[in-house]
Amino acid sequence: MRNTTASAMALLLALPVAAQAEIRLGASVSATGPAAFLGDPEAKTIEMMVEDINEAGGIDGEQIALTLYDDGGDPNKARTFATRLVEDDEVVAIIGGSTTGTTMSILDVAEDEGIPFISLAGAISIVDPVREYVFKTPHTDRMACEKIFSDMQAQGISRIGMISGTDGFGASMQAQCKDVAGDQGIEVLADETYGPQDADTTPQLTRIRNTDGVQAVLNAGFGQGPAIVTRNFAQLGFDIPLYQSHGVASNAFVELVGPEASQGVRLPGTALLIGDRLAEDDPQYQVVNDYTAAYRERYGQDPSTFAGYAHDAVALMVDAMRRADEIAPDAIRDALEATQGFVGTTGVYTFSPEDHLGLDPSDFRMLEITADGWKQID
């Protein structure tokens, strides 16, 4: 009740402000804390893009005023910041929620207050069931599983061993993969786990190797775990393929693992990873290479897949603002939902009232690490 009154007050106070030529955009990402490897490049991307858009004249002559908070990966802080964005900063749209946990906090506020929100987190529960004001840019881990399993089918692989991290990402993907495996004719014969900071996984991999009939190994996880699994995999001298998840789709992963041990690893990734190898007539060629060049020039490093999620969120939001009848939350939401064939770094987005993710497994590209970098194999 107090909240409603407060927001009604805020709305009244906001009316004269809206007359000024300024679009208030809010963001809350996990730039520090345990999810910093997600939130840090996301924050950099959001800041860079807003500045660039403003320099180029803003949206129909109106400048974007960005308010960016760092929630440190803490869902409670994310909720506080989301409320502050709506009530104090009076934003018309929110981007952020680096993790599923922080997204869930922001999502409640966005739904209650009727503010369009694009999440940067992976879980399918964010957009299923569809919520009126909530959209998201990353693929779900279920789609990653489907993509990996279709590649396995194409290779004639039907019996696999899984090794997953016990962190949120690994556990969620492990459950999703086991759930869809049967539908795609894949049998999971061995199912092992490791702690996110374990130094060695050779016992688990030895168990998988000693399981009869295993034709490939799938590692669900991100962070240091997959790097250690891949190194152990090479150490044990397996002669079957190793599949990794989209969680480690980055050049940093290849550097961590080393060129020899990483060779032959297959994973579903986005076009962002193979920007310089895309054909020039590829629909994503322009957007991927423009973004990579801008990011590299500004920060001296390559953008990660996660940074790409933030890029797509900002680009989608700005596109919706340009098409919206007026710069108001409901008009932006309607324009966002009407997005058709919008090309981002992650894929081509088409939203509808039934689909607030707008991607499908075909937006993933199956990649293999070779001696001279990433190679698309589908």
Question: Considering the rule CB under 8 A, would residue 211 count as an interface residue with other proteins?
Answer: no
DSSP 61-82: TBEEEEEEEE-TT-HHHHHHHH
Half-sphere exposure of 301 (CA within 13 A, CB side): 11
By beta-carbon proximity to other proteins, the closer residue of 224 and 370 is 224
**C-alpha torsion sign, points 98, 100, 101, 103:** positive
Question: Considering the rule CB under 8 A, would residue 210 count as an interface residue with other proteins?
Answer: yes
Number of residues that bind other proteins (CB under 8 A): 35
**CA 147/CA 76 separation, integer angstroms:** 34
Query: Per CB under 8 A, which of residues 181..200 are in contact with other proteins?
Result: 192-195, 197-200
By beta-carbon proximity to other proteins, the closer residue of 228 and 336 is 228
Contact stretch for other proteins (CB under 8 A) within 28-36, 50-58, 280-288, 322-330: 28-36
Distances (CA, A) of 308 to 14, 90, 196, 369: 32, 26, 24, 20
Question: Considering the rule CB under 8 A, would residue 237 count as an interface residue with other proteins?
Answer: yes
By beta-carbon proximity to other proteins, the closer residue of 57 and 203 is 203
By beta-carbon proximity to other proteins, the closer residue of 195 and 213 is 195
By beta-carbon proximity to other proteins, the closer residue of 143 and 227 is 227
Which one of residues 37, 130, 158, 360 is an interface residue with other proteins (CB under 8 A)? 37
Question: Considering the rule CB under 8 A, would residue 378 count as an interface residue with other proteins?
Answer: no
**CA 265/CA 105 separation, integer angstroms:** 36
Residue type at 104 in one-letter notation: M
Question: Considering the rule CB under 8 A, would residue 227 count as an interface residue with other proteins?
Answer: yes
3-state SS of 122-146? CCHHHCCCCCCCEEECCCCHHHHHH
Question: Considering the rule CB under 8 A, would residue 76 count as an interface residue with other proteins?
Answer: no
Question: Considering the rule CB under 8 A, would residue 230 count as an interface residue with other proteins?
Answer: no
Residues 6+ apart with CB under 8 A from 133: 110, 111, 114, 115, 116, 117, 329, 333
Task: Return the SS3 of 248.
Answer: helix
Minimum Å gap between C-beta 194 and other proteins is 6
Question: Considering the rule CB under 8 A, would residue 236 count as an interface residue with other proteins?
Answer: yes
Query: Per CB under 8 A, which of residues 144..173 are in contact with other proteins?
Result: 166
Question: Measuring CA to CA, which residue among 152, 106, 99 is closest to residue 121?
Answer: 99
Total residues found in the chain within this entry? 378
* Residue numbers at the binding site for other proteins (CB under 8 A): 32, 34, 36-37, 40, 166, 192-195, 197-200, 202-204, 206-207, 210, 223-224, 227-228, 231, 234-237, 252, 255-256, 258, 260-261
